[in-house]
Amino acid sequence: MSGITRYILRQIAAGTVLVSLALAGVVWLTQSLQFLQFIINKGLAIAAWLKLTMLLLPWFLSVILPAALFLVTIFVYNKLIVDRELVVAQAAGISRIGLAQAALMSGLAVMATGYVLTLFVVPNAFQSFRELQWSIRSDVSQIMLRDGSFNQIAKDLTVYVKGRSKNGELLGVLIHDTRSPQNSLTIMAERGALGSTDRGARVLLFNGSRQSLEQGTGNLSVLYFDSYTLDFGQLESGADDRYASNRERTTWELLGAEPNETTSARIATRMRAEGHQRLVEPLNAVGFACVALVFLLTGGFSRRGQTGRIIGAIGTVVMLQAGALGAANLAGKESIYTPLMYVVALLPIACGMYIILKPGWRSPDRRIVPVGASTA
């Protein structure tokens, strides 16, 4: 590895790490705020919010890394052009592929990292995220009932606890359930305790009454009890049937999806498209790097700056992203369009490497040499 390659590589690597962390932090902050109210309503500690949102970071990074590399490559090579360092390197006889080597190596490293994230880390992290989110929503044992306030633990299900004893018993319990369209249920008890079963959480109530109001007729029935058990898991509709989303399934499961009793042909097509998208997305790291290199290494030096070429590179990447989204959308509807996803991802790599490696295509910068330097 030449000195100029190491010099450029250090700048790109450091810049990519810093920009990725900054962008990931911004995206994480904006996305995590929507879960903050959810955690507050459930009465959970801030640690639960941090754990829930941190599980999304691998997905953020898999999307951010190629874009961060592209921006840093544009910045580094533009700075080298403005500082005339590329002019000096070309005058010293370094070829265009020699100047591009650092960016291409960085692209390959980011691509490898992207495959690790999309194929292994992201599905496992998102599965943990969905399981934690589901347990918070459906398992009342995960909920800290706040004393002296009405806790809405589910839609149309409210629990009030007056206080707690030294051994953790609930004192002065009121439960109001209006889920049933036929009747509303109100339970009052002197004390109670939370427990759990295979079907979920339950509450044990002592010395109270159960009032049921039938809708329409207005008939009120009252039942007094010494002890009463209410299974919260039974009140959570669908709590036992969590459907796994495509993002938390393994790549091999998505690629091998076939229609069956629970999966329609349309859903299976979307699953296969999702699997192929995981194989395609990391290629953007090398493709975006090639776009930046083509625009900044194949033009002549201009005292007016490289604004036009930078805008052209950004516009090209935007069009590539639009094409990738369109191809993924088509592949999600018809499997025949799946190869189009690979074409869009590999096209900038193939064209970029052809332009960079094409013999005889000399950058106008090579005509700018210091006084006394050999032009041979």
For 190-203, what is each residue's pLDDT tens digit?
A: 988 877 666 666 78
Q: Which pLDDT score is estimated for 195?
A: 72
- Whether the per-residue pLDDT at 362 is higher than 70: the answer is no
Q: Which pLDDT score is estimated for 276?
A: 95
Contact present, 132 and 52 (Cβ < 8 Å):
yes
Q: Which pLDDT score is estimated for 239?
A: 41
3-class SS string, 10-22: HHHHHHHHHHHHH
Contact present, 5 and 76 (Cβ < 8 Å):
no
Tens-place pLDDT, residues 262-311: 788 899 999 999 999 999 999 999 999 999 999 998 866 565 668 889 99
Q: Which pLDDT score is estimated for 90?
A: 81
- Whether the per-residue pLDDT at 373 is higher than 70: the answer is no
pLDDT-based confidence at 16, cuts 50/70/90? very high
Q: What are phi and psi of 172, to 5 degrees?
A: 65, 65
Q: Which pLDDT score is estimated for 114?
A: 95
Dihedral-angle region of residue 96 (phi above 0 means left; psi in -120 to 50 means alpha; beta otherwise) = alpha
Report the range of poorest mean pLDDT among 280-289, 300-309, 317-326, 344-353.
Answer: 300-309
Average pLDDT (100-108) is 95
Closest by Cα among 183, 330, 334, 312 to 266: 334
Dihedral sign (CA 44, 190, 174, 227): positive
- Whether the per-residue pLDDT at 371 is higher than 60: the answer is no
Dihedral-angle region of residue 160 (phi above 0 means left; psi in -120 to 50 means alpha; beta otherwise) = beta
Tens-place pLDDT, residues 161-180: 888 887 778 889 998 878 77
Tokens of 143: 């909920």
- Whether the per-residue pLDDT at 341 is higher than 90: the answer is yes
Report the range of poorest mean pLDDT among 103-107, 112-116, 174-178.
Answer: 174-178
Q: Which pLDDT score is estimated for 33?
A: 79
Mean of pLDDT over the chain: 83
- Could you tell me what percent of the chain has a pLDDT over 90? 41
- Whether the per-residue pLDDT at 376 is higher than 50: the answer is no
* Claim: this prediction has a pTM higher than 0.85: no
Q: Which pLDDT score is estimated for 233?
A: 58
